[in-house]
Amino acid sequence: MDPQHASNTLVHLRKLGMAQPVPESCNTSGFYSHFYESFIKVDHIQRGRISCTVPVKPAISNDYGTLHGGAVGSLVELLSIGCARTVVAEDRELFLGEINISYLSGVPTNVADVFTKTISQFTGAISIPGCQSWIA
pLDDT above 90 covers a percentage of the chain that reads 2
Report for 18-27, 66-75, 92-101, 106-115: range of highest mean pLDDT: 66-75
- 133, pLDDT greater than 80: no
Phi, psi torsion values for 52, nearest 5 degrees: -135, 155
Q: What is the CA radius of gyration of the chain?
A: 18
pTM (two decimals): 0.70
Say how many residues make up the chain.
Answer: 136
pLDDT for 118: 66
For 2-22, write each residue's pLDDT tens digit: 899 989 988 888 887 777 787
Give the residue extent of every domain in the chain: 34-135
Which DSSP letter does residue 58 get? G
Eight-state DSSP code of residue 65: S
Q: Does domain 34-135 fall into CATH 2.60.40.10?
A: no
| 3-class DSSP state of 33 | helix
pLDDT in tens, 9-66: 888 888 877 777 878 888 888 888 888 888 888 888 888 888 888 888 898 999 899 8
pLDDT at residue number 121: 53
Is pLDDT at 112 greater than 80 in this prediction? Answer: no
